[in-house]
Structure 1
Amino acid sequence: MLTEDEFFIPQLVKHAGGKKVLWSFVFSGTQIVLTTHQLMDQSQFRKKVTMKIHRFPPRRAPVNFESWIRNLMRNCVEQKNAGP
């Protein structure tokens, strides 16, 4: 399992304009694409990330996870009409 220091997301990207909003980020050279539900639900988030990078991201206390995700969303780059 990765530690919080090892699992750093430098930039979250919001892909809007399609049928649904998608979110993506790059970790260790691998792009990970998530739905809003997968991004906001720690269990779904960890499952999707693990499937892509074959390592578990850190488990956070629910309030810490929510705060961390909201901060990423607040500082995201938005791309309209662009898919990941």
Structure 2
Amino acid sequence: MVRVVTPEAAGAVNAIDVETVGLGWDGGPFLGWHSGSWISADPARCQLLIVIRSPAQAENAATVLRALEGQDPCIADYTHSLPR
């Protein structure tokens, strides 16, 4: 079984979370539960990368974004993919 989550993204960022139950390979073999997160951003276009994983972090990120006043940071927002 595999669960793949891709967040809403803004800017030159790619992100994915993967959770796996079973047998697999990720830099080495595994049996059981395994999870991993991968985030890549183009450093020429992302001087600031903001990763939001919870509503509390979203509130803090909103404060940071207001302080940036129009600059375009790269954002990976996982709050829309949280279980309800």
Range class of TM-score, shorter chain? under 0.3
Q: Which has the larger radius of gyration?
A: 2
Return the structure number with greater helix share.
Answer: 1
Return the structure number with greater strand share.
Answer: 2
* Larger RCO, structure (CA 8 Å, separation 6 or more): 1
